[in-house]
Amino acid sequence: MSLINNIFTRFNKELIEEIEMSHLCPVDYQIDWFNRLTWAGSDTAFGKEHNFSSICVAGAGIDSALSTKGFNHRLKAFQHEVPIRCYDDFVPYIERVRKGEDYVLWNQKVQWFARSSGTSSDRSKYIPITPDSLKINHYGGFTRMLSWYVAQNPKSHIFKGKALTVGGSVQPDEMGSGGTMYGDLSAVLLMNSPFLAEIFRAPEKDIALMSNFSEKVEMICRECSSQNITNFSGVPSWNLILLQRVLEYTGKSNIREVWPSMELFMHGGIGFEPYRETFNRIIPGDGMHYLENYNASEGYFAFQDDLDKKSMLLTVNNGVFYEFIPMPMLDDVLSGKVREIPTLADVQTGVNYAIVITTCGGLWRYLIGDCVQFESLYPHRIKITGRTQLYINAFGEELMISNAENALAQTCADCGCVVSEFTVAPVFMELGRKGYHKWAIEFSNPPKDMEFFTNLLDRNVAHFNSDYAAKRLGSATMERLEVITLPHGTFYKWMESRGKSGGQNKVPRLHGNLKFIDELTAL
């Protein structure tokens, strides 16, 4: 282990030990955070409105070693007092904070908001970033991930160079009166990053925070192509655009010729499998690691603690209390018919859950919109399977994002082709014709036989989704899917036309109608 790796792991020894303990006793950490969160929330307008004083344990913010005695009773009271809310339900509270009112949702003043458009809505979301959520959750989660990675890879050269960061941009909040700001989460984190972290990061902050993505990419090429970049992070699609432009700018054939010490890509936001082959091609050779993490505007929730497993370890000790709604129960829970739902102590493997979070950012029983499955318990590892509002169920097929991505990745591997971007929508039944799915795909390396590709993709979707297989059996209620190919750069132009280029913006993989595909084909 190098000297700097040794110093880093020694400095973060407690975090590494905590991760090891979380494999064995994650529920203890969760009970502790439930106590801390409800105690801190009792001093807020939200907490007074929802009777937190009768739920919380006095002194929870001071003594982290509280007994679990009475937890089940307090949890039941909490679940009955606080309804589960989506973002739109939180807007009245968040707007009060944006207008300058203090201690509405959390017992700290808020200066920053992470603006996120997500994938299922055109409406921007403004998520409060409190000092606690910044330090305990976002930075705490990232530090855990990096500490664990270095501990598991003691020969890593990650600190012998710099981390490439493609941030978003920030601007004053027009609704605010006290100097509040908003921007992409990546930009908010950059604006508040510790001095030591800046030493190991590139490009310069003013470039990383440029609002025009195309101009930012050009500036990064100029500044960073001659530096020693060892790692980078972010959404795969936008980073791929950056890497391809770096190759064009330098005239090199692969990234190893530009940055020989490149070893780690920390990715999230969208599924990585459709992009894996492209990344393997432009960053060839052994020694490159791809590490998934679950870092949303609402919080940092999980990271891949074992690179041999395609699942992520849930972070249970960084300011979040989790609840989980089995997807068949979702409507009953949202209508208020069911109040008590599973916590981490109750989950099972192989079940699709809508994830509900309570955070030190002041989100109380917040339905984030993601669906997860537990791949294992003790340690509790998850995979993201889709969105509660972003799946296709036009014919009872219940196609989730994970089904589509896995089927596409398998088909590309079998056909030797590479996909840049894609989106899927249903074509509804018409007189004399059954319904089907239409896939709009942009290839960077197209298949030699599109008919074979289409047939294989249809079979692979059925393989990964039994409901789809049942509907396709004998073409009972669905016809074979259709694939339309789009010219190179179409998705980029489309996202740019929607004002969603760069940063954390994501292409909507699944949509309930042909609106997006029609816009893409019109280009």
Dihedral pair phi/psi, residue 428, rounded to 5°: -75, 160
In this structure, how many other beta carbons lie within 10 angstroms of the beta carbon of residue 171?
Answer: 11
Bigger pLDDT: 428 vs 352: 352
Residue 440: pLDDT band (50, 70, 90) is very high
Given a cut of 50, is residue 480 above it in pLDDT? yes
Tens digit of pLDDT for each residue in 275-332?
888 899 999 988 999 999 999 999 999 999 999 998 999 999 999 999 999 988 988 9
Which residue shows structure tokens 């979070």?
A: 357
Cis bond upstream, residue 128 (ω within 30) = no
Average pLDDT of span 257-265? 97
Residue 396: predicted pLDDT: 72
User: Is there a contact between 35 and 60 (Cβ–Cβ < 8 Å)?
Assistant: yes
DSSP symbol at 354: E
Q: Residue 327 gets which letter from DSSP? A: G
Q: What is the mean pLDDT of residues 407-430?
A: 91
Contacts of residue 215, defined as CB under 8 A and 6 or more positions apart, other chains included, come to none
**Across the chain, what does the average pLDDT equal?**
89
Question: At 493, which helix (H) or strand (E)?
Answer: helix 490-497
pLDDT of 160 higher than 80: yes
Question: Alpha carbon of 429 to those of 395, 404, 446, 519: distances in Å?
Answer: 9, 21, 29, 21
Are 319 and 34 spatial neighbours (Cβ–Cβ below 8 Å)? no
Q: Provide the pLDDT confidence category of residue 118 given band limits of 50, 70 and 90.
A: low
pLDDT in tens, 64-77: 444 577 899 999 99
Tokens of 25: 């006793």
- The span from the CA of 37 to the CA of 132, in Å, is 11
Task: Please spell the DSSP secondary structure of 389-454, one letter per residue.
Answer: S--B-SSS--B-HHHHHHHHHHHHHHHT-EEEEEEEEEE--BTTB-BEEEEEEEEEE--S-HHHHH
Averaged over 253-264, what is the pLDDT?
96
pLDDT above 70 coverage of the chain, percent: 94
Q: Looking at residue 299, what is its pLDDT? A: 96
Q: In order of start, what are the domains of the chain with their CATH numbers?
A: 1-23+109-388 (3.40.50), 401-522 (3.30.300)
Give residue 61's pLDDT band: very low, low, confident or very high (50, 70, 90).
Answer: very low
**More confident of the two residues 75 and 435:** 75
Residue-wise pLDDT for 4-58, tens only, equals: 888 889 999 999 999 999 999 999 999 999 999 999 999 999 999 999 999 987 6
Predicted pLDDT at 307: 93
Entry pTM: 0.81
